[in-house]
């Protein structure tokens, strides 16, 4: 069964209630899920608290659902502050919105994220550098290979940097709408298309998310 650790609900810019997202993900074969709505100091506590209520409901279906955040468009010098605030508010998974090529993310965001061991995933990091990938390896930050159409154009580059550095990779959908959800077969195709070997793809799809959940989750 698949794990998905980067999704959005109507608590930020997604289309679904958290519980509806959980149900639709379960039907797609996802048994481990994280709600990671966009967050900053303005809403981090609310996002975690409200998501947790539906995470408890989803447990009735045998799902493991973690409540997290995607720290998004925060000034580079304040990223560590918001990460610390998110943990204090109970965020179990912390994703940082990386320097994707399709949005005006502040330069230096990738480096700030990979230097902080409290960050679990650097999402869609665009033209990440080898140095940044090496810091991700050293600090246990997984680099995301994404199926999201607006961000996936640099998947191949991200994979190459991760391979050269020996950094962990993870495959996520960055779901915002029902049609964004993917099954295990599609996730495997995304990984292989990015240039991962089958062994690397298996790690990105199974071992890395399991390790993150074990490290951060309640399970």
Q: How many structural domains are present in the chain?
A: 1
Using 50, 70 and 90 to split pLDDT, how confident is the model at 146?
very high
Using 50, 70 and 90 to split pLDDT, how confident is the model at 216?
confident
Tell me the CA distances in angstroms from 201 to 10, 121, 168, 190, 194, one per residue in order: 30, 16, 11, 9, 10
Q: How many Cβ atoms sit within 10 Å of the Cβ of residue 17?
A: 14
Per-residue pLDDT tens digits for 63-114: 999 999 999 999 999 999 999 999 999 999 999 999 999 999 999 999 999 9
Q: Which residues lie closer than 8 Å to 118 by C-beta, 6 or more apart?
A: 83, 84, 87, 94
Tell me the CA distances in angstroms from 141 to 23, 156, 202, 209, 217, one per residue in order: 28, 18, 18, 11, 16
The pTM of this model reads 0.97
Check pLDDT > 80 for residue 191: yes
- The CATH number linked to 182 is 3.20.20.140
Give the structural domain span for 173.
2-216
């Amino acid at each position: 069964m698949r794990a998905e650790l980067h999704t959005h609900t109507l608590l930020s810019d997604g289309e679904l209630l958290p519980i509806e997202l959980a149900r639709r993900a379960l039907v797609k074969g996802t048994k481990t899920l994280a709600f990671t709505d966009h967050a900053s100091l303005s809403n981090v506590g609310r996002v975690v608290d409200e998501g947790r209520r539906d995470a408890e409901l989803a447990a009735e279906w045998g799902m493991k659902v973690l409540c997290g955040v995607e720290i998004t468009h925060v000034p580079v010098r304040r990223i560590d502050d918001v990460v610390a605030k998110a943990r204090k508010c109970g965020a179990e998974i912390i994703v940082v919105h990386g320097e994707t090529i399709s949005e005006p993310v502040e330069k230096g965001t990738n480096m700030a994220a990979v230097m902080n061991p409290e960050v679990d995933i650097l999402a869609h990091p665009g033209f990440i550098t080898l140095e940044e990938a090496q810091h991700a390896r050293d600090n246990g930050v997984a680099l995301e290979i994404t199926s999201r159409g607006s961000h996936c154009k640099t998947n191949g580059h991200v994979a190459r940097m991760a391979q050269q550095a020996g950094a962990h990779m993870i495959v996520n959908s960055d779901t915002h709408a029902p049609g964004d959800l993917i099954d295990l077969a599609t996730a495997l195709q995304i990984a292989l298309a990015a240039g991962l070997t089958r062994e690397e793809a298996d790690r990105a799809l199974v071992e890395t998310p399991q390790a993150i959940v074990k490290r951060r989750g309640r399970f």
